[in-house]
Structure 1
Amino acid sequence: MKCLGASLPRPLSFLRPRSLMGQMMWAVAVALLLVQGLGAALVYRAQRESYEHGMLNAAAMSLLTERPGGSRPTLMRGRPFGPPLGGPPPRRFRLESNAALPVAAAERRDRDAEEELRAILAEQSFAIERIEVVHRTIGADPVARSGVAFHARVRDMPPDMIHDMMAQHLLVVAVKPQGQSDWLIARVRSPRAERILLGPLILQTLMIYIVLFGAVALILRRITRPLAALTRRVERFAASPDVIGQLPPSGPEDMRHLIVAHNAMEQRIASMLDEKDVMLGAIGHDLKTPLTALRVRIESVEDEGERRRMAGTIEDIVRTLDDILSLARVGRPSDPRERTEVSALVASVVEEYEDMGEPVDLGDTRRIVAELRPTWLRRALRNLIGNALRYGQRAQVTLRREGALAVVEIEDDGPGIPDDQIGAMMDPFIRGDPSRNSATGGAGLGLCLARAIADQHGGALILKNRRDGDGQVVGLTARLEIPAAV
């Protein structure tokens, strides 16, 4: 037989990563981030290479068609051609010929682009001696800046648009043909590849997240809602097996089967508990009747000492039987909870012992109200105070509030309990060492019943040895915690 009132698991919370829905969403988010990040990186790399290749082809086209001897020899020495009046801003500036290299020594050259452009020109039989490729903004290039400024004046563009154009990306290609002293400079204007490619990739990722998260959330909601309802039902049934009705099946087919199986198990447990109550009631009736008859019969015993011993034995049997029946019924209390002033209840129990001349002192108390079953809590306090008097010769009772708990402490001056046996002492039919229990009798159900009553109210019973400054055990403290009313 086990002591009732085991602690229940905390309810599922869908706002914490520890919940099923939270863990699933986190897993989907991390997996999607890794997959989409890898895919976006590969797509971005391929598209950027294609984009830069197109810019180099535009620059090569300018070098091949506008150089002297090309298909359209429109070369103008010393300055670029401006855009047509009223036309759009130029994407590709006209070819420039200059004796001076336009690339500064401090500028970072694009070696990969230089090799690719060299290969493109070599395929077109364009022999070059040197090639240099750099990236700039339009505002940092004097030729491109003057061309855009001219276009802005003609079009009467606003300052903010001019500023945006000056910040755009410019690819500058300087080529020195073999046998010539001048450099041919081609300029291609375009936004940086990052600005063109990253935007669509980010938008695509966000759309995938929204669609996938929405679908996963709907599926998980169909699973977690009936699971949460089942959890609440299990908690209510564990707290009070007299809960009437069954949980209607809902959710996916697997969840429906689980709920149906739980309903069947719950009904079977309730039936077994009902049978147990009937059986215990019959046992209590059938045992107490012959015990009452024995009380009458021992009156015929002439030896007074023998008669007292027999009467004491019968009383021990009756007390043990009452403890067993109380422990069996504590999990299914029939009386409802009442809003009770705990300080008054504790004081009344202490007064009972004071009226009998027992050394029980009521220490500091404060007014605390709680929802509880007074009869059961009185039984727990009597068991704890009785143990303190039996093993420690006195009892000191205090009541205080700690947060949301009403805490009753009963202290004695006894020998305490070995630390490795404190937990076992609250199990049923477990008695302590001989030095503590040799003259006390009992079946070892008092502490177990007190703990079951505390658990029944959502609280706890904690035993702890009291020690002096030298670490020696000077008594035991029984701490009874009950949730206080708000």
Structure 2
Amino acid sequence: MSLRPGSLMGQMLLAVAAALLLVQGLGAALIYRAQHERFEAETMNAVAFRLIAQARGNERLPRHLRVEPRGLFTDRLYRFAVQIVREAPPRDGKRRNASAEQKLREILTTQDFRVAEAVVFRRSVAADPYAQMAIGRRADRFEVEPHAVARALDADLYVAAVRPVGGAEWMVARVRAPPSANALIRPLLLQTLAIYLVLVGVVALILRRITRPLAALTKQVAHFASTQDPSGQIAPVGPDDVRRLIVAQNAMEWRISSLLDEKDVMLGAIGHDLKTPLAALRVRIESVEDESERARMAATIEDIVHTLDDILSLARVGRPTDPVERTELAALVSAVVEEYEDMGEPVELGSTERTVIEARATWLRRALRNLIGNALRYGSVARVSLLKAEGQALVRIDDDGPGIPEGSLQAMTQAFTRGDPSRNTETGGAGLGLALARAIAEQHGGSLQLVNRRTPEGQIEGLTAMLVLPLT
């Protein structure tokens, strides 16, 4: 299942959220790096101050004359004296900080403090005995609260050891480590959340102004597609582009509706103008003395009338006048089969299931009669059954005829299309029966399916016509 939203609003909001996440991610990375470098630079400045002050005798001055560093990391519990030792302090497996060492060298060089070696690493106060002892003494001296002492012991230190050029001893300075740059994550997350709420909220309001009229237009188009009724058109609302689209759609619907009305009027006139002379011909052929000739002429007139009825029905199927009603499909199928049984036709009713659908019963009868008539004409027998599957009603009509070539199955549902010679005009009509049945099925939101039935050896043993109708 795709996680990408399908609606325009959902996709736009997802795009804005993704773009904002990318921008905020890049910004957070740059801020994190800059803050880390700033903290490191300030720490190394504090370390350099301690080292230079020790080298130049600041620590030997009276306390009121000493110069103390000012900055983020000065706290009386963390004012460690610079140690003079013979060897660099043990790192206890801690990795050296190469960038901090480079910064420290640069700062000391600018102050004419030449360094032969420098080692900088970070470790906790709890892992540094000297720092623990110094904090304990200062806590007793200044009567610091126990919780403050505990917090100080949990802190981290930068330990920097340098050996001046020409010297054999190391100078070791300790400075409290700056707050971790990870502390920026929470404010950045809160900032991102606030931006999301504001920006996505504004975009959602704008998109809603666009998508609401589009949704209404979609509903109207679907209504017009099923009914060809332009009533209920929506008023132009929303941005100018959407307004123009609605105006164009409304004008197109009225134009299509007018064309359909003109078509119905024209078809009505054609039907009237053709049926009147055909009725007169029926009367005139009664004067023909040759009975066989009179019968052929009457059959020809009946074929013309039947074809004309099919043409008019096919043209009007898209704009039915009878209402949709709840119909018990099994009863309707049984009634149509009984009509053929009463006429002595070989039509068999197989298994059926009680099925209620919303339909136009008159049109469904017409479709069933066309399909059963085709089965009788080309397959000698018609077997009709009704079942339900996957939310659909399936009316199945089987015959024992020669079937239809596989390449012609789809084309056979088109108007005026005939199959092979077994389905020519000598044994069939004008090629409108299946087209009309398909149009009626589609009028009800369904479809007509044609499938050749085959024996295990692959021989065609008949045709199955399946009228598929939705249950809801």
TM-score by length of 2: 0.90
Counterpart of 2:41 (choices 41, 44, 53) is 53
1:89: Cα distance to partner? Answer: 6.6
More moved, 29-38 vs 421-430: 29-38
Counterpart of 2:295 (choices 305, 308, 330) is 308
More moved, 449-458 vs 161-170: 161-170
**Which residue number in structure 1 is paired with residue 354 of structure 2?**
367
* Within-5 A mapping of 1:69-468: 69-73=56-60, 90=77, 93-104=80-91, 106-147=93-134, 154-158=143-147, 166-437=153-424, 439-468=426-455
C-alpha offsets along residues 167-223 of structure 1, whole Å, 9 cap, x if unaligned?
Answer: 544222112223444332222224554323333333333333222212221111111
Q: Is the 2:230–2:254 Cα contact (8 Å) retained in structure 1?
A: no
1:481: Cα distance to partner? Answer: 1.2
C-alpha offsets along residues 311-352 of structure 1, whole Å, 9 cap, x if unaligned?
Answer: 111111111111111111111111111111111111111111
1:287: Cα distance to partner? Answer: 1.0
CA distance in 2, matches of 1:219, 1:267: 30
* SS of 1:439 mapped into structure 2: coil
* SS of 1:293 mapped into structure 2: helix
Q: Is the 2:379–2:401 Cα contact (8 Å) retained in structure 1?
A: yes
Change (3 A) 1:162 1:254: farther
Q: Is the 1:20–1:224 Cα contact (8 Å) retained in structure 2?
A: yes
Change (3 A) 1:40 1:393: same
**Which residue number in structure 1 is paired with residue 12 of structure 2?**
24
More moved, 39-48 vs 120-129: 39-48
Q: Is the 2:378–2:422 Cα contact (8 Å) retained in structure 1?
A: no
1:148: Cα distance to partner? Answer: 5.2
More moved, 53-62 vs 148-157: 148-157
C-alpha offsets along residues 28-80 of structure 1, whole Å, 9 cap, x if unaligned?
Answer: 22323333323332332223222211111121112222x143334479xxxxx
**Which residue number in structure 1 is paired with residue 68 of structure 2?**
none
Q: Is the 1:391–1:437 Cα contact (8 Å) retained in structure 2?
A: no
- Structure 1 residue 64 and structure 2 residue 49: aligned? no
CA distance in 1, matches of 2:150, 2:338: 90
C-alpha offsets along residues 73-108 of structure 1, whole Å, 9 cap, x if unaligned?
Answer: 479xxxxxxxxxxx9674554433333432326321
More moved, 15-24 vs 242-251: 15-24
Change (3 A) 1:163 1:347: farther
Change (3 A) 1:178 1:16: closer
1:147: Cα distance to partner? Answer: 4.8
C-alpha offsets along residues 106-153 of structure 1, whole Å, 9 cap, x if unaligned?
Answer: 321111211121111111111222211112233333333455566778
Q: Is the 1:230–1:247 Cα contact (8 Å) retained in structure 2?
A: yes
Amino acid in structure 1 at the alignment position of 2:471: A
Amino acid in structure 1 at the alignment position of 2:219: R
CA distance in 2, matches of 1:386, 1:44: 81
C-alpha offsets along residues 362-404 of structure 1, whole Å, 9 cap, x if unaligned?
Answer: 1111111111111111111111111111111111111111121
* SS of 1:476 mapped into structure 2: strand
CA distance in 1, matches of 2:321, 2:139: 91
Change (3 A) 1:112 1:265: same
Amino acid in structure 2 at the alignment position of 1:61: F
CA distance in 2, matches of 1:319, 1:188: 105
* SS of 2:410 mapped into structure 1: helix
Percentage identity across paired residues of the two chains: 60
Amino acid in structure 2 at the alignment position of 1:213: V
CA distance in 2, matches of 1:165, 1:428: 92
- Structure 1 residue 34 and structure 2 residue 38: aligned? no
CA distance in 2, matches of 1:163, 1:440: 105
TM-score by length of 1: 0.88
Amino acid in structure 1 at the alignment position of 2:115: I
1:163: Cα distance to partner? Answer: 6.7
Point out which structure has higher relative CO (alpha carbons under 8 A, 6+ apart): 1
Q: Is the 1:298–1:310 Cα contact (8 Å) retained in structure 2?
A: yes
* SS of 2:373 mapped into structure 1: helix
Counterpart of 1:469 (choices 442, 456, 464) is 456
Amino acid in structure 1 at the alignment position of 2:43: M
Q: Is the 1:169–1:192 Cα contact (8 Å) retained in structure 2?
A: no
1:260: Cα distance to partner? Answer: 1.3
Q: Is the 1:468–1:474 Cα contact (8 Å) retained in structure 2?
A: yes
More moved, 32-41 vs 249-258: 32-41
CA distance in 2, matches of 1:103, 1:454: 89
Amino acid in structure 1 at the alignment position of 2:13: M
1:258: Cα distance to partner? Answer: 1.2
Change (3 A) 1:157 1:163: closer
Amino acid in structure 1 at the alignment position of 2:41: H
Change (3 A) 1:146 1:308: farther
Which segments of 5 or more consecutive residues in structure 1 lack a partner in the other structure?
A: 1-14, 76-86
CA distance in 2, matches of 1:291, 1:305: 19
Give the aligned CA root-mean-square deviation in angstroms. Answer: 2.5
Q: Is the 1:136–1:172 Cα contact (8 Å) retained in structure 2?
A: yes
